[in-house]
Amino acid sequence: MRQFNFIHALIVFVALALSAAPAHALKWPPKDHPASSSGGSSGGGTPVPEPSSMILFGAGAAAFMLTKRRKKAD
């Protein structure tokens, strides 16, 4: 049980550390410059989740799978 708590705490700490770095780096949003001189858009308007939210989602999913695996082993 102690090793599981350590691993879970380590996963959460790493996820928070990685998500804090991009949030600090994006204090000033970049100016919106067109990617090409023709003015075309490459995105299509679909919002993309920021990397920090994906890291936190992945850490939560990993912790959830570890708890399921541990319950199966008991």
Phi, psi angles (nearest 5°) of residue 42? -100, -10
Confidence band, pLDDT 50/70/90 cuts, at residue 74? low
Task: Tell me how far CA of residue 49 lies from CA of 35, 56, 64, 71, in angstroms.
Answer: 20, 12, 21, 32
pLDDT in tens, 41-61: 555 666 666 777 778 888 888
Asked whether residue 3 carries a pLDDT value surpassing 80, the answer given is no
Can you tell me the distance from the alpha carbon of 58 to that of 24, in angstroms, rounded to the nearest whole number?
20
Kindly list the domain boundaries of the chain, sorted by start residue: 1-24+52-74
Mean pLDDT of the chain: 71
